[in-house]
Structures are given as C-alpha cells and as structure tokens.
A and B are shown apart, each in its own frame.
Chain A
C-alpha cells in the first residue's frame, strides 16, 4: 500500500467502501452527476434494527490499497457500482463484459456489484436483473437512490453474515492467519501444524486469534455495533500484546481509538464529512442507546466468545461504557499505535493516516500542541519516492491540518511549499495557476493583505523579509501564468509597501523589472478581480515620490483678484442683527480653516506646490504628474519631472486652469512612475502637511500686460506695505529734468478690459521733492476702452524730478569760510543753528554800505559794486569762483509705484478687480547746484538782484538761463555766479490764510508752509533752466529749497516804502539832472504798509562824490549847499498812512553827486528790521547852468 488517503478520519473506520466507476466512454459531467446522486446515499438505517450503516464512495481507488483490506476492513472495497453508456442492444454484451472485467479488479473483496446502464432501451431492459439497472437517459433516473439503498442493504446482509460467521467461527483451532501484503512472504512455508516448538505454535495460535478478533472488531464497527467492536478490540489488544505482534497491535489500538472517537464525537472529526453525518448524529447518551442493541446481540451469542478461547472475564465488561476510551486515552493509544506502526517501514501509509486521524481528533479536542507533535511526526514519515503531485497533496494537507489546529503561520509555510512544489523544475508542465492560487492562500498566514491602505498607518510592521519573498513569488507566478496586469499590480504593491525594506540593489532590480512589465501592460488604477473572487485594489505610488507638503499657491500679485469693498458688508447677509456675535465669528473661523482665503480666477493658470522627496537611490522620472480636483471643471496641465537620487525636499509646481467657477478642492495628484498610473489622494497620505485644499474660483477677469518705453530694471523696490510689483523700470535723470514715460497697456487675457484706475505712490524718501513727481492724463487712455483682448492702449506719465538744488552740507562747509555770508541750506539741517548766528553777526545789508573798518568786506563789495555799476542793466554778472569745491557726486534715487486697478468681463460684474503695479526707479544725478544765494539791491528799491552761485556738477558742459535771458555756459565742475534781477515780491498778499489751517498746524508748520509758497512764487518768476547741449537734455532748476529767511526778507518789498523825489521826479535808479545854482527840491516820502504805526524818524542827507577808485569824498561843503536844514523829520505814520518831508539842495559846481540819506542813530526803532529802512541812494548830476 503506497497511496495515503489524507482525507481519512477516525470515523471512516465504520464505513463500507464502495467504488463507483465509469465503464466505456462516458462524459465526465454525466458521470459526476450520477456519482453525486449516488454519494448522497451515504447513510442507511438498517431495516429491523437501529443500526446505521455508513458508506464511503470513491470513484478511484488503487487496487493495491485493497490488499490491505484484511488489516483494516474499511480499506476493503466491498461494493462496485459501474456506470456506463450504451445506446444499442448490439453493444450490450460488450458493455456487460467490461463490467465483469471491472469486477475482477476488486473481485477478491467485493460483496456485491451493480451496473447502471444509461441510454439503452428495448427488450434487454425488460429482463429483470438485480445487478443491472437500465435508464433511458441521465435525466430520467429517479430510482437511482432507491437502487443504491437496495444495493447497500444487500451489502449489509453480506457484511452481517460475515461478521456472524467470523465471530462465531467454530473452526476451533484452525483460525486462519490474516496477513498484510508484505507479511505474506514471511509466513510462506511455515507449517503451523507441525511446528516443532509447542511455544511457537501457541504463539502462532494467539496471533491468529488476536488478528481475527481485531478483524471481527472492524466488522462490528462497520456493521454499526460500536460496543461489540470495542470489546473485540480490547480482547485483540490483550492477545496481540502478549505475542508482540506490533503491527496488528497498532491496528487494534487504532480501531479502539476510532470506535471511541465515534462514540465521543458523533458529529465526526473530518470537517467535510461532519455535515453529512449531522443528520445521523445525536447526543452521546442517545448514541450510546443506539449502539446498545448491537452489544446485546453479542450477548445473545455468548458461546462465540468462550469457544474462541477468549477470556470470559471480558464479558463482564460488555455493555459498559468503560470499554470506551476517555478522550485523553484516545490520544495515548493513538501515540502507542503510531509508535508500533513506525516499526514497520512498509506501514508508512498506515502510520501517516493514523497521524492525520489523530490530529483531527486533537483539533476537536483543541489540543493544538499535541496535534502539532503528531503533525511534526507525520512530516518525517518517509514514504517511498513520492510523485510531485503526491508531494503537493501532502504539503497541502499538512497546511490544512495546521490551519485546523490554529497554526496559521505553519499552515502558510506548508502551503507555500506546496505552491513551490507545483512549479518544481522537475515538473514538465509547471502549474503556475495552481501555484498562484496556493500562494494567495498563504497571504493571511503571513499577515499580508493586498490592500495598500492597510500599510498607510505609520511604519510597516511585519515580517518584511518573508513577505517580500512571498510577493516576489506572486509576481513571478502571475507572470508565468500569463497575466502581466496581475504581476504589475503585485510588483507595484511590493515596491510601494516594502520600500523601506528593500536594499538599494533590490530597489533597482524591482523597478527594472516593473518597467519591463509595464512596457507591455501599463499599471492602472482599476480593481483587478481574480476568478475566485479576490479583489486586488489598485496600488497608488504614494512613496514614489514621497509628498511631504501640499500648498495651494495664490496667484501672482499682479493677477490676484481683489474685491471691491462695498458698503454693504457681507456679514449682513448672515441674517444676524448683531454687528458682532461670538457664534458667527466662531463659525467663520471654522470655515476659514478649510478654505484658503484667496481666490483663483477662472481661465487663469493656478498653481499648487508640492514638496516632494525621492527615496530611491537613482534618478526618479515622474511623468504625467497632475492634479486631481473636484468641485470645478479643471483642466490639469500635467508635468514631467526628474528627481535626483535621494533628493532632499524638492518643490514641484503643478498647474491647471479652472474652467468654471465655484469652490474647487484639490483632492490629490496623479502620476505615472515606471509605467504605473497612480491616483494619490491626499487623505490617504501619511504625514502630509497641508494648509487646506479648498479654494474659491471667481469668474474670469482680463489680464493686463504692461510694457514701457523705459528699460526694465533689475533693481527691485523694497517691498513696503506689502505691495508686490510685477515690473520695474528705471531711468536716470538729471535733477530738474522731465521725462515722458509711455506705458503700453495690452490686454492679454480673454475678457475685455472695461475699467482702469491709476494711482501712484511715492515711496518715502529722505529727499525733499519739489513739484509733482508723476503726472498723467487718464482721460485719453480711458477713451480707448473697453479694450478688447489682444488690443493695446497707451498711457503717458510725465516724470519730473526736482530735488533740492542747494549744495550738500559738506560743500557748504567748504565754502562758508568765504567772506560772503552763505545761505540756502535745507531748513531742517542741524547746521542751520550753527550758521544762523554767524549770518546774523555778518548781516548782509548792502544798502547800508560797508563800514570803512571792515576791509575784507569793503574789497568784495567794492568789486561787486563796481561790476554792478559798470554793467548796470545786465542781469547777470559773472564771477569766476576762485576755489573749485571737491564735490562728491551723490546719486539720489526716487522710487514710486504706479498702481493700475483694472477690471472687466464677468469678474467685474462680481465686483472683482486686479491690481498691477509698476515700480519706477529714478536715479537722479545732480545737474546744477546753487552753492550760495544772496541778494544785492538793485538800483531800484522795488527790485533786487538775486545772486546765485551755480555749480555744474555734471561732466558735461552746461548752460543755465533764467527768465529767458542769455545763457550762462558752465564747464564741468565749474562754479559761476549768476545774478538775476527780480522784482521784489509782495508776499503778504497770498500766504495769509492762517484762519484755515491755524487750528491744525503749529506756527512752525505754518511758517514752513508759508516759506514753501514763497519759494514756489519766486521760482516761477525766476524760471531757471539748464541745458546740456551735448546730451540734448534740458531741465529746470529750482531755488525753492535754498531761500532762507534772510534772502526772503531781501526779496520782499519792505512795508515801509521810501520814495525820494528830486524835483518832484521819483529818483530811483537813474541819475536826476539839475542845474548848477538852481535849488533842487528834495522830497522824502514814506508810505507805511505795515500793520502798525512807525516813526517819528530823523533823516540826514549826506552828499558825497564817488571817485570811482574806492574813495568817497564827503567833504563837499563848498560844492553843495542846503536850502534849509539838511535834516528831515518825519512824524509818526499810521498804518496805511503817508508822510513826506521836503527840503532843497543847491549844487554849486557841476559834477556827479550822490545823496546818502541816513537815519539818525537814535531815531531808528530798534525793533524794526533794517531792511525796512532801505532808502534808494540818489544820484544827481549837476549840469552847467544854462546861460
């Protein structure tokens, strides 16, 4: 016996073995249909008794196993059912012959046989035969079951007769020796009768008896007489133990165990048969009752026991459940039996089957540890060389049994071994499909699920090495099965879940093979359903690359939509009467968490930034990477990227265009890596940082692109107050220059541009800026609106830079040592405090004249006076500066932002606009400086000369002009004085509006404002312009910044207006003519414009002659004579009043005379500024008297 039946279980010992076989040509389908019907009759209650007969059907049974039928009767084929097709009467004899041949095979053991013939009709069928049944076809055979029952009953009759025959064998001494096949030759030639040794004979007899007892026990068990069988087995054990017939002793013990198991576990131990037996099963007590009649039957025939020489004592035990082994004893006896079996190499199959049976019993008893010992033993039972198929069967059954006792890991191990056996190299046709199926079954044992979601929870914890091996095998098996989709799926799974455990080399190998597979069959995101119902979920590569952070990006500042703030706050719509309620505030806060508080615009490219990481030791190519979104129709623009090996965090920007409006949610991204498509959802990604993934998409807006006539600048403005500037332009201008900036506005969007607003903002600068820096006229541009997509509009901005033209402080310092008092530095300068007193200590008071004791003054003034006099009437006088100050060329920068607010299209309707900023960077180079400012009185008291020392700080020749007078040419670095004759100003008329601002501004501010206004006035009068001919650039120069109080006072018309009239003619600048000898009337008139009364004053007229060489001759007593007093008295003058005093002069000689009208020291009110007492000097030319 060589073929083990692994399905055997203990209760099979009570069954009768019936073989059902096809004969001739019969389709498998039909055969199994009938076989199924036959095998449904597996349990028969025997007529007239309560005994139950169990049948075991086999459609295949090796005849050599049949030879062991004597050893254990349930191995004996006792019935044969043959099924055949026969369609014509002609074939009938042949068919019947075949039936006989079939019978021959099991002939020695058969009790009875049947032949079922299908398809035959006619007279043959009419013949009533017990062993043959005819059916017209496979459908029309209701009586099959009935037939089988009859058949089984006939089997029972034979069995019962045999049992009784054996049990009551009266043959006395001549009990035949039952043998197993391999024993037969041992007993050949052994003459038991004439044995020399009496002991041997007795020994032999006992052996025969013991074996027969065991045999009877088997028959009893089969015949449903459990208690009898127990008795017989017990006796047999006694007998055989005494003769050391170990093999049969083992069999007897096993029989005992089987009977006990049947008694204890009527539900059966073999899982599959259990269900079938349920119907016959009942409570153990009931079962005992059921079997008792069988025991009684033995009692009926007591002679059978005694005559066989069996110890009559045993009869005392009959009918007692004590015969039955306890559950613990069953296992002990099994162990014993197996240990006896193991003594015989040829009984390997018996031993193996015994082990399996024992394990099944133990599984029911839940004694896994002992069961595992039995199995362990079974593993080592060495049968003859097994075929591959048998090996697979053996491993599978081991796996099943381990599963049965709850050893899932062990079970998985054997299942895997079985799977590997399916495709062993020695097999010519490897069963990859079976292998794959078995491998799948091992998955739970290795606690491996094929759903990648189970691996998302933190780090993977499991038997990585073992699991990886299994996955590799799955991949290989599925590939060999010819299912590349499956192998791609498994390989992706391996790569995704076991990435942390793969070595660098393995990573390379796995990806290499994955790429090979996907070149034929790309990996998808679809579920793969296996034929047996297992569903393989898709494996998204969330680790290739690993995404650490997802951030939705706002649109660039220039495209960011902004909401026009309406007076109706949106909170009103929350239907709450409260302006603020904590509940509402809370709700809003929650919403904000989910929703990002910026908007995307329909039709505009929107970006999402991912921080990705490549865990692979080689460059990772990710293709077709795009966004997965919901809520809004979104056109994703996939990107391809290549990540370097083991890269750090790497920013990747995915883009797309929302096509509709609403709320968009970014759910995840999709990739193609190694030919596998993956949809990775953010929710499933472990350890991802995201700052919300929902954003609102607003309707489309136009897009404006700006290009300017100026070059772009790399210099970016300091981002102040959060303004983001899209374009920067820069220009270099000379101080005072004006330039036009032409801005081209192009609508590059899809919507018409309907609305444009322009504002400018000058970034805070230290420089004081005069005049309007930027000015424009929007109307011309707006006239071109609406601007259709693709159209261009122009917009012109004038840039005018007018910084302080006063020279820098360092320069001032250099020059201030010069004799002339210096003024014109910025008012805010700390230097002012230092200079002021000096300026006061040396008051510029040209009309007063210089004192003789001040030589330096005298010299300078004299020369000036000289020029003044000699070139009377020319507005500019030139003085070449003696020293060229070392000027540092300092650049000033001015920065401004032009904001274009524009809107249009549907977005405009919704109240959104866009803001585009143009940064303007102006570098201001100094053009001219006014290093000094001073005034000189002009010949007329109503006018004065403004002296400006102009310094050319450019590197070019420069011309300066004022009031469209002739130009002054300045070489680079040259400083020249320029005198401009200006009418004095009557400032009082305009700045006096203190009532308006007085409340807000302090007096200082007021004063400053006033000064500025004056500066503006003066500047507009002066109209100083410069020109660089070589560069063809022109500009203005402003003196606003350099006029100080002192200069202003000089430029101001004094409130006391003095007029000197000679001969009734006002004498201001021109010489008055008179005749020698004639008295000349001299009138001094005072008009008081100041708000208070002044005077009284005493004035003395001092005539003198100017020799034009620096000598004034005051000794003119002989030449000029006064008519009356030389001293005038003026009474106090009320505001707006007028006063005059009259005198007369008599010139005795011809000549040019000057009259110096001087105040008496004591009469001058000290509180009044000296410039108020500025009287014109009178020039009288005495001519020859006309005869």
Chain B
C-alpha cells in the first residue's frame, strides 16, 4: 500500500528511504524532500503544545495527483514520511496511523541496537523487512 517509506533524522537528512522498485526512485526522493517543508511547518506550529499532549501523527502532508504524503514525528524529532497511492481509498487515517506506529516501534528497535550509531543510515534487516511488509500489504 505504501509506495515509499522514509525515515528522516532530526537534522532533516534521510536515515532510510525506500520506494517500490517499479517506480522512479528519484521522484520519491523529491517528493519526500519537499514534504519536509510541510513537516517543519507543522512541527513549528505544534511546538507550543505540551510534550505529552503532542500528537505524533501529522496527518496528510499534501496530496499530489497520484499520491498522498503522510507524516509522523517522534518526540526526538525524527520524522517518518509515507507516500501512498491516492487511488487506494481503502486506506483510512486509522490505518495510516497504525502503520506509522508500527514503523515507530521498529525504529525504536533499531535504536536499541548497541551497534547502531544514532545518525547513521539504517541498515537493519529487521527494519527493512518490516518496511517491505508494509509496502506489499494490500497492494
């Protein structure tokens, strides 16, 4: 269902980005990159809210003709961006939310790896397979 999943560091560089192989990868790079503007904007708007009340899910960042871009931000300002096909109407907000939550927990697992340096690209196989499962599902 997801066509592209990206994890972006606090400093706005990609830690992980993967898209369906059939499509032009660069297109998604551009898409995720530009979506960061919206993410930044949403985060700065949200900044005043109390930390514990903060909603991590940012919702739809922006729709394009073919895709919808969703965002999610952790408390440590690591961003998850997911691009889904607009034609897939089965996906509701709730599904997207749960997908992000899954992504978040998997990311937490990656961070728990003592051999992982925060800030490095994510090369975890477990994370990879989880993302793969999210991309194949329902499609």
- A interface residue numbers (CB < 8 A to B): 368-369, 372, 376, 380, 402, 406-410, 413, 446-447, 459, 461-463, 465-466, 469
Contacts and interface: CB of A to CB of B under 8 A. Distances in A.
Nearest to B37: A407
A252 to B, nearest CB: 30
A407 B35 CA distance: 9
A466 B42 contact: no
Contacts of A372: 37-38, 41, 62
Given A372-B62, A469-B26, A463 B41 contact: no
Interface stretch (B9-17, B77-85, B101-109, B130-138): B9-17
Given A369-B45, A413-B30, A459-B120, 5 more contacts: A407-B34, A407-B41, A410-B34, A461-B9, A465-B25
A406 B29 contact: no
Interface in B35-56: 36-38, 41-42, 45
A413 B120 CA distance: 26
A402 B41 CA distance: 12
B33 interface: yes
A407 B26 contact: no
A413 B42 contact: no
B118 interface: no
A286 to B, nearest CB: 33
A363 to B, nearest CB: 12
A466 B41 contact: no
Which of B37, B38, B41, B65 has the largest count of A CB atoms less than 10 A from its CB? B37
18 contacts: A369-B42, A372-B38, A372-B41, A402-B37, A407-B34, A407-B38, A407-B41, A409-B36, A413-B33, A461-B11, A461-B13, A461-B119, A462-B13, A463-B14, A465-B25, A465-B29, A466-B26, A469-B26
A466 B37 contact: no
B25 A463 contact: no
Contacts of A410: 34, 37
Contacts of A407: 34, 37-38, 41
Contacts of B36: 409
Question: 4 closest A-B pairs (Cβ-Cβ)?
Answer: A407-B37, A461-B13, A465-B29, A410-B34
B62 A466 contact: no
B13 A466 contact: no
Interface residues of B, number: 22
Contacts of B11: 461
B38 A466 contact: no
Contact of B33 (A380, A461, A466): A466
Contacts of A368: 41
A466 B29 CA distance: 7
B46 to A, nearest CB: 11
Contact of A376 (B14, B42, B62): B62
Most buried by A among B9, B34, B45, B63: B34
Nearest to A461: B13
A460 to B, nearest CB: 9
Interface of B: 9, 11-14, 25-26, 29-30, 33-34, 36-38, 41-42, 45, 62-63, 65, 119-120
B40 to A, nearest CB: 8
B34 A369 contact: no
B38 A413 contact: no
B9 A408 contact: no
A406 B41 contact: yes
Given A461-B119, A466-B26, A408 B13 contact: no
A409 B41 contact: no
A406 to B, nearest CB: 7
A1176 to B, nearest CB: 100
Contacts of A406: 37, 41
B16 to A, nearest CB: 13
A447 B33 CA distance: 11
Contacts of B62: 372, 376
Contacts of B38: 369, 372, 407
Contacts of B119: 461
Contacts of B29: 463, 465-466
Contacts of B120: 459
Contact of B30 (A402, A461, A466): A466
A469 B26 CA distance: 9
A446 B33 CA distance: 9
A1045 to B, nearest CB: 77
A399 to B, nearest CB: 11
- Best-buried of A463, A466, A469 by chain B (most CB within 10 Å): A463
Contacts of A413: 30, 33-34
Contact of A465 (B12, B26, B63): B26
Contacts of A408: 37
A156 to B, nearest CB: 44
A950 to B, nearest CB: 78
A383 B8 CA distance: 36
B123 to A, nearest CB: 13
A628 B65 CA distance: 57
A459 B15 CA distance: 13
Contacts of B34: 407, 409-410, 413
A446 B34 CA distance: 9
A376 B68 CA distance: 13
Contacts of A446: 33
Contacts of A380: 65
Given A372-B62, A469-B26, A463 B33 contact: yes
A407 B9 CA distance: 18
Contacts of A463: 13-14, 29, 33
Contacts of A376: 62-63
A447 B42 CA distance: 20
A465 B121 CA distance: 14
A80 to B, nearest CB: 43
A413 B29 CA distance: 11
B80 to A, nearest CB: 16
A48 B111 CA distance: 74
B106 to A, nearest CB: 22
B33 A409 contact: yes
A469 B120 CA distance: 22
A372 B64 CA distance: 13
A965 to B, nearest CB: 89
A410 B36 CA distance: 9
A372 B37 CA distance: 10
Nearest to A368: B41
Nearest to A375: B62
A413 B26 CA distance: 12
A683 to B, nearest CB: 25
Contacts of B9: 461
A382 to B, nearest CB: 12
